Structures are given as C-alpha cells and as structure tokens.
Amino acid sequence: MINVAILGYGTVGSGVFKIINENNSHISRRAGDDVKVKYVLDLRDFPGDPVEDILVHDVDIIMNDETVDVVVEVMGGVEPAYTFVKRALEAGKSACTSNKELVAKHGVELLQIARDNNVNFFFEASVGGGIPIIRPLIECLTVDHIEEIQGIMNGTTNYILTKMEDEGADFDTVLKDAQDKGYAERNPEADIEGYDACRKIAILTSLAYEKQVDFEDIYTEGITKITTADFDYMKKIGASIKLLGMARKDDGVTYSMVAPFVVYNDNPLYNVKDVFNAILVKGDMLGEVMFYGKGAGSLPTASAVVSDVVDAVKRQGYTEKIFWNDTKRILGTVDAFTTPYFVRVGLGGEDAASVKAAVESHFGEVEYIDGVKSDEVAFITKDMSGSEYDKAAEGLNVVSRIRVSK
C-alpha cells in the first residue's frame, strides 16, 4: 500500500483527490502498488465533502507518519510550501508539486535534498499544467542539444490576445471579460505582466541547459501595451501576436526572456488560441516538436501531478537523475538578443515619404506594411540586436515595437 498526503485542497488539490479515488484501479495497476490518499491538509473545513474523513489541519501529523510515502504539494506560493516539501524529503518521503514559484526558486536545492535522502522530487505540472514537457526534456530529448524553446505558457494572456485579435476588442475590455469568466484573477498582474510565464521559462531554461537560471535575471515584458491596431497590421502579413517564454542558445550564449512576439502563420504556435498553451522545442537532431494542451485547470493540472505520483511509486528506492545543478548560468543581455522588430512610427505632421526616408536612414532596408493607418508608417526590420534597435530608433516617433519570432 502506498499512502499519499495532499497539501492543499483547492482547485488542483481537489482534482488530485478526485483522480486518485475515481481512477484508483488504473493508477494502482500502473504504479505497481495500491495507491491511497491517507491525508489531506488544509486550514479550512469541508462539511459534507468526501475529503472530510481524512482532513487534517496539522502538517506534523503527515510529517511524523512513517507510512506516508508521497507528499503532494498543491498549496501555491513559496512559503510554507518550501518548508513542508523540504521536511517531507528529509523525512524520506517523495514529493510532487505543481508549484512554479517553488520550483523556480528552490527546485535545484530540493532536487539535491531528494538525492541525499534517496527519494524523488517531481514537478511536471509546474510548467504547462497538464501538458507533458518536463519529463520529455529530461527523458525523451536526452540525445539532443536544445537549440531553442518557445512557449505560450499562460492561458490568461493567450485568451486576452485571442479576443483582441478575433473580435477587435481593446485590452481593458477583454481583461474584464477574462476576469468575469474566471480566466484572470482580480489582480491579474502576474499574468499580464509576464511574471507567471517568467517562472515557467526559468524552470525550462534550467533543465534544458542544466544550470540554475534565476527568474529575477530573465527579461520580462507583458502584454499591456498591445493594441487592436497592432493586430490590424498582423492581418496584413499573415501573423499574430503571442506572449512567449523563450530560451535560446546562440554561439555559446544562453538567452531567456518573456515578451510579446510577432508569430507568422508558418510557426506552429500561430494557431494556439484562447486558454490553450503550447511549447515548441527545437533540438539539433530531432528538429521541432510541440507540446500542446490545457495549461491550467483542476483536472488537467492534477492529471500531471498524479502521473508524478505514479512515477514516484515506481522509483521507490532510487532517485531519478535530473541534470540541473546549482551553478548559476549567466544569461546574455536583452541588448545582445537578436531578432527582427515590428515597428510603428507616427508621422508627427510630416508626410509618409519623409518618414520612410528617415526610417531607412536609421534602419536600412525594411519591409513596409501599408494600408492600415494613415497617420503612421509600419515596418519589419532586419535581424538586429536590442542595442542596435535602440540606437536606430533614436529620433523617430515610435508608437509601438514588438519583437518578431524567427
């Protein structure tokens, strides 16, 4: 018998409880042992809920019970999640989590504690919810050098951008709609400013390139400056705008960032809409492979967590090797990151021909996008670094600029 304790009975925790109970025979067969939820920890009471019989309010009951084999942490936030997971691992219990903040901040440390105690720390659901991406990176793509990762990693921002594109609604209107439907929090800052995606790409960059990447070092830009006019230009060139988490290795330099990008219709991420997420991985041998699905929600995320529970049961007695060490990886600066740019320049009382002449004197040859707004000039630049762009843009009345995915 394998006893599981769930820390937190919110959206994901209740999903984990439901899946283990309702699919118990299937899960136990795959795990090779009977799997049972022995405890659920939460500060609240749930009268009439099936969890009531196993609900506890004191974490010590779980930590001191030697029959608990796996602890599932789905509380969110760094504390007390970090303290609880650390205690579980030190007590010889494997731990599984969906907590991106915890993994981004303490993942490498918790992996080492797991190794020291001959148990496992798994975190598939911390990136992409129900989309399998962590395990493919550490198990299935081991022969490839990862050249680049591009991902739509936040369903809220993807929903907002999709509605702006398809319905022509402005940002504030769509944000309110997303909040009304429960896709966005009352305080949506973590989503719309890119912080949620930043923690996820920090985890993937650390795993892909095997050294610690601190999310505080990742350049992060949200979607609050994107307008419906930007999408009008996109329709002219067969493109869209997506908030991407990106990791790339160029000439031995590792870059990691979160920002809006122009994505053309030949990129598989172009067709990812609404609350769906997708992560595109480019390997030097495999080429491109994409992982797509629901990036959040009770059952999709809980499904990934329970898969980790099954893996932890199957790996009792030894720790899976995950290549992520605590040596800090120094990232290349955003000034050195090269990409084309989509730029809109206001006429400012001048005629379009004069402004185009100024654009070409600053940027050289560009690809113009005409026929959208009469009071500005829009164009796509050549591939250039961030510092080259900043220098070229000096003196021009730049209305908007968005990087272009290559």
Q: Which residues are catalytic?
A: 200
Cα first-last separation, the chain: 51
Beta bridge partners of 220: 258
Which contiguous run of DSSP H or E holds residue 159? helix 155-167
CA atoms within 13 A on the CB side of 360: 8
How many Cβ atoms are within 10 Å of 259's Cβ, its own excluded?
21
- Which pair of structure tokens corresponds to residue 58? 């004191």
Which contiguous run of DSSP H or E holds residue 341? strand 341-346
Q: How far is CA 107 from CA 12, 121, 150, 165, 368, in A?
A: 20, 9, 21, 37, 46
Per-residue HEC secondary structure of 243-308 comes to: EEEEEEEECCEEEEEEEEEEEECCCHHHHCCCCEEEEEEEECCCEEEEEEEECCCHHHHHHHHHHH
Phi, psi of 153 (to 5 degrees): -115, 10
Q: Name residues whose C-beta falls within 8 Å of residue 119's C-beta, 6 or more positions apart in sequence.
A: 89, 92, 93, 94, 95, 312, 319
Q: Are 110 and 85 in contact (CB under 8 A)?
A: yes
Q: Is the peptide bond before 80 cis (omega within 30 degrees of 0)?
A: yes
Give the span between the Cα atoms of 63 and 41, in whole angstroms: 11
